[in-house]
Amino acid sequence: MVKLVQSSSERVDDGQLSGLAMVYYAMGRKADSDKALAAMEQSKAYLPSDFARVHAFRGDLTRAMDYLKQARGTHDIDLFYIKGDPLLRTHESDRRYKAFLRKMNLPE
């Protein structure tokens, strides 16, 4: 069950859902991770790069790349931080990721 906890200074769209999606996945709770991803989509507060990071963490580089392409097409501001992002670093040797970095004019 996905339970959201909010402090007085934190909104759900401050990254809590993406964090939950990754934590639940790391705990082996894929169904809860999927629910957190669905809640991210419903909230409309997340950028395509946020979804890319979650899918990369989950080991689904194909979905992550789809979101990275979408992020590039929408001029997602967070792409500025993409190179060296710890959640994507494990995929740096993948040819698709290398090609994406080249398109972004970022060194491999």
Alpha helix ranges (H) inside the chain = 16-26, 30-43, 48-57, 61-73, 95-103
Residue spans per domain, the chain: 11-46, 47-108
Q: Say how far apart CA 41 and CA 48 lie, in whole Å.
A: 10
Rounded to an integer, the average pLDDT of 12-31 is 90
Q: Which residue, among 43, 56, 49, has the nearest Cα to 13 in the 3D structure?
A: 43
**pLDDT tens digits, 22-37:** 999 999 999 999 999 9
Q: What is the pLDDT of residue 8?
A: 43
Amino acid making up residue 80: F
**pLDDT tens digits, 57-105:** 999 999 999 999 999 999 999 888 888 889 988 888 899 999 999 888 8
> pTM score, two decimals?
0.83
Q: Is 29 left (phi over 0), alpha (psi -120 to 50) or beta?
A: beta
At residue 17, the 3 state secondary structure works out as: helix
Q: Say how far apart CA 98 and CA 84 lie, in whole Å.
A: 12
